[in-house]
Structure 1
Amino acid sequence: MAANDILRSNKTSILETLCADYRLILNKADQKKLITRREYTNLKSINKLDEEGHVVELVDKIMNKGEETCLAFLNLLQTDEDIQKTYPELKNILKKEHCLLPYPVQACSVDNTDNQPQRRKEDGQYELNSQPTGLCLIINNVHFRDGGVRHGTDKDAESLAEVFSWLRFRVLMCKDQTKNQMERALVCFASQCNFSQLQEFNVKEWTCSGFTDLQEAPRHGDAFICCVLSHGNKGVVLGIDGQPLPIKQITTTFMATPQSPLTAKPKVFLIQACQGRQIHPGVLLKGLQADDSHSTSIPQEADFLVHSATVEDYYAIRNKTEGSWFIQSVCNQLKVGCLRNEELEVILRRVNNEVAGKEGGAMPSAVKQMPEIRHTLRKGLVLTPNRN
């Protein structure tokens, strides 16, 4: 559905919600340059209208500016932290509309013949020109054979699907996989798998209405994202049968080869799993100050980024209703940083800082968490949202 149509179909609910503080939405629209300074001054100086009248004037003006401005306005409503806190009802109003535009069938960058803008910002960045940008695979282990249930992990999977579809990825999910199933599924995705090979893994695809049955075989684009949500231990994640799969094996499955469709392309792995059985304690700061090539070949291990929820030996915190500290921070920071065209490494460092600042338990510094980034990226990786 086009952004203008989304605004039109939800206009009444959006207007009623934004009336709670019309000055905030007016200022935000001005900051994002969705309206001109003259329009801002005129809207601000209207005295005869009540709160609803001001919001109606603003939204009508946005809708009259065309599809690109409507899309930018919807992205603002869904990604700005101040707006989310001030108008929490917007989340429910727009939840079903997070896929703002339909995505075309996967195509490699050499097939980019539909006049889409080339997204190589400068030398030294990975070229991400395929439509969609690539695949995002989520392995979401919820129900374990020992009776355990990872409450809150579906919230993480949905948040990841929303943000990476917004970032132009085709999002697929394999749910409740044993160790052997994870292993085979990863091998399948590392090659150019066909539709029949994926059936045993019950692969679902993210659409505007949620996860639905896969309709066609996936094809790799210019980048690959793999998110593993499961129990874990030092250096491993667990299948629902309790058997360990080494994280190193997950990444080496995608190492560069002459045949791999992902050779020389960025591959990002987000691991939400405990890495031990210890609670990570904190240290109270007393008296201390806290500071806020031309080669024709590449190494097999090049172009990887692995971001784990925690360093080895420690638990990773997950809320039963809100999802995990780590994944929710990743999704929130991507929404903010990608709109600024920031490199992924910069965004994920901010995730480290945010999660490190969280407190768990009854006493300060009793329960902490420190994510870890390891990468062999050779260039900057900038993911951009769909603004068309």
Structure 2
Amino acid sequence: MAAKELMRSNKTSIQETLCADYMLILNKAVQNNLITSREYNNLKGINRLNEEGHVVEFVDKVMNKGEETCQAFLTLLQTDDEIQQTYPQLKNMLKKETCLLPYSVQACSDENTDDQKQMRQEEYELNSQPTGLCLIINNVNFLYSKGRTGSDKDVESLAEVFSWLRFRVLMCKDQTKDQMKRVLECFASQCDPSLLKEFNVKEWTHSRFIDLQEAPKHGDAFICCVLSHGNKGVVFGIDDEPLAIKEITKTFMASHQSPLTDKPKVFLIQACQGVAPHPGVLLKDLQGDNPHPIFIPQESDVLVNIATVEDCEAFRNIKTGSWFIQSVCKQLKEGCPRNEEIEVILRRVNNEVAQKEGSSVPGARKQMPEIRHTLRKRLVLTPHRN
């Protein structure tokens, strides 16, 4: 049974149970990013309601957020020790056959344990410390084109969120097309670190970028963020020469020599893909012991998320950064603590950016990010635990 349907069928019982301490469940919900701080304050501040009324409003709010939030809420009810102690009736309410957790807990049946084990086998293993490298190419000052004011804000947001997700964050700024190509080749092959001096690579440490401290070493995943001007299928170096996005990703193709073969590689591209405005439309009602060798395709294990579809512009605020990158960072902060896979999080980015307006005329200038991938497993990024 789907999580939302399970909540609907048990709604009255859940509400009656949570009335025992409605502030506890509100606090847990905001701590686990099921509701925003603003929603928390609004729910807490409804003076006309009694405890039951507050809980009813809260449960309705969770259900209205959709299937993923409902699943995260039920997961919280079944895994949080303080909740289990405060609301012991929940154990009987959430039957074994309706266990929705992605990982094994005592409330799940033995039959489901096998399914959960298979899910873990279908997930990329991210055990290295750090998880991997996050490389940011930040082109701001161009030789012939207008500069990209506000891009440094995007870089700061990316550095904060990916260091929180246990990546080592490196950045090189204002690269020509040939420099971009060579620095990517260098990281793809994990070349001699002395060759990186040309690109003035900086490292994010204690909330700021400093000179590179030690040779970069790949872990179990790789993130590449390219922030620049662009056109259909390309990004530009600061010399206004184009580098094809496909060429960027192909640099990291699987091979016998590559340190990233069989590991997930995520590319986040903040660049226009043309100059055309994107109009809106008004809606109406709407490995192991196998004796046989295993081969994987060269272009497997790659995810590319581009700020906009081909031919269209992408928006960037000179003070707060770009719509796309800021949404990526926000949704990673909210989804990763809930063990959501990257595709789910980035779909939420697509939806958030699609709702924004780039003009005072509603629907005149929109932006629609695009995701494409060849991932073979679930990719779940996890933050540092305090």
5 Å-filtered alignment, 1:292-303, equals 296-303=294-301
Q: Could you tell me which of 241, 262, 278 is aligned with 1:280?
A: 278
Residue in structure 1 matched with residue 244 of structure 2 by the alignment = 246
Amino acid at match of 1:310: T
How big is the alpha-carbon RMSD for the aligned residues of Structure 1 and Structure 2? 2.4
5 Å-filtered alignment, 1:46-195, equals 82-83=36-37, 122-146=120-144, 148-195=146-193
**Contact conserved, 1:325 with 1:355, CA < 8 A, in 2?**
yes
**Contact conserved, 2:29 with 2:35, CA < 8 A, in 1?**
no
Q: How many angstroms does 1:222 deviate by?
A: 0.2
- Distance in structure 2 (CA, Å) of the matches to 1:83 and 1:195: 44
- Distance in structure 1 (CA, Å) of the matches to 2:354 and 2:141: 28
- Distance in structure 1 (CA, Å) of the matches to 2:250 and 2:170: 20
**Contact conserved, 1:224 with 1:267, CA < 8 A, in 2?**
yes
> 1:227 and 1:362, CA in 2 relative to 1: closer, same or farther beyond 3 A?
same
Identity of aligned residues (%): 69
Residue in structure 2 matched with residue 205 of structure 1 by the alignment = 203
Structure 1: gaps (5+ residues):
1-23, 33-72, 88-119
- Distance in structure 2 (CA, Å) of the matches to 1:299 and 1:28: 47
**Contact conserved, 1:156 with 1:324, CA < 8 A, in 2?**
yes
* TM-score, structure 1 normalization: 0.70
Residue in structure 2 matched with residue 257 of structure 1 by the alignment = 255
SS of the aligned residue for 1:212 comes to strand
> 1:234 and 1:384, CA in 2 relative to 1: closer, same or farther beyond 3 A?
same
SS of the aligned residue for 1:122 comes to helix
- Residue deviations 1:91-150, cap 9 Å, x none? xxxxxxxxxxxxxxxxxxxxxxxxxxxxx9711000000000000000000000125210
- Distance in structure 1 (CA, Å) of the matches to 2:34 and 2:173: 31
**Contact conserved, 1:280 with 1:368, CA < 8 A, in 2?**
yes
Amino acid at match of 2:336: C
* TM-score, structure 2 normalization: 0.70
- Distance in structure 1 (CA, Å) of the matches to 2:132 and 2:163: 10
**Contact conserved, 2:224 with 2:266, CA < 8 A, in 1?**
yes
**Contact conserved, 2:160 with 2:207, CA < 8 A, in 1?**
no
> 1:27 and 1:321, CA in 2 relative to 1: closer, same or farther beyond 3 A?
farther
- Residue deviations 1:320-345, cap 9 Å, x none? 11100000000000001101000000
Residue in structure 2 matched with residue 226 of structure 1 by the alignment = 224
- Residue deviations 1:235-280, cap 9 Å, x none? 0000000000000000000000101000000000000000001011
- Distance in structure 1 (CA, Å) of the matches to 2:147 and 2:235: 15
Q: Could you tell me which of 323, 333, 341 is aligned with 2:321?
A: 323
- Distance in structure 2 (CA, Å) of the matches to 1:86 and 1:162: 25
**Contact conserved, 1:275 with 1:314, CA < 8 A, in 2?**
yes
- Distance in structure 2 (CA, Å) of the matches to 1:245 and 1:84: 42
**Contact conserved, 2:132 with 2:167, CA < 8 A, in 1?**
yes
Q: Could you tell me which of 365, 368, 376 is aligned with 2:366?
A: 368
- Distance in structure 2 (CA, Å) of the matches to 1:28 and 1:163: 25
- Distance in structure 1 (CA, Å) of the matches to 2:236 and 2:343: 27
Amino acid at match of 2:320: E
**Contact conserved, 1:193 with 1:218, CA < 8 A, in 2?**
no
Structure 2: gaps (5+ residues):
1-21, 42-117
Residue in structure 2 matched with residue 92 of structure 1 by the alignment = none
> 1:203 and 1:86, CA in 2 relative to 1: closer, same or farther beyond 3 A?
farther
Amino acid at match of 1:128: L
Q: How many angstroms does 1:215 deviate by?
A: 1.0
Highest Rg: 1 or 2?
2
Amino acid at match of 2:223: I
> 1:348 and 1:209, CA in 2 relative to 1: closer, same or farther beyond 3 A?
closer
SS of the aligned residue for 2:210 comes to strand
Amino acid at match of 1:169: F
**Contact conserved, 1:193 with 1:217, CA < 8 A, in 2?**
no
Amino acid at match of 2:281: V
The structure 1 segments of at least 4 consecutive aligned residues displaced by more than 4 Å after TM superposition are: 24-28, 84-87
Q: How many angstroms does 1:82 deviate by?
A: 3.1
Amino acid at match of 1:162: E
Residue in structure 2 matched with residue 9 of structure 1 by the alignment = none
- Distance in structure 2 (CA, Å) of the matches to 1:332 and 1:365: 24
Residue in structure 1 matched with residue 338 of structure 2 by the alignment = 340
- Distance in structure 2 (CA, Å) of the matches to 1:367 and 1:86: 33
Amino acid at match of 1:83: S
Q: How many angstroms does 1:288 deviate by?
A: 3.6
Q: How many angstroms does 1:192 deviate by?
A: 1.5
**Contact conserved, 2:145 with 2:240, CA < 8 A, in 1?**
no
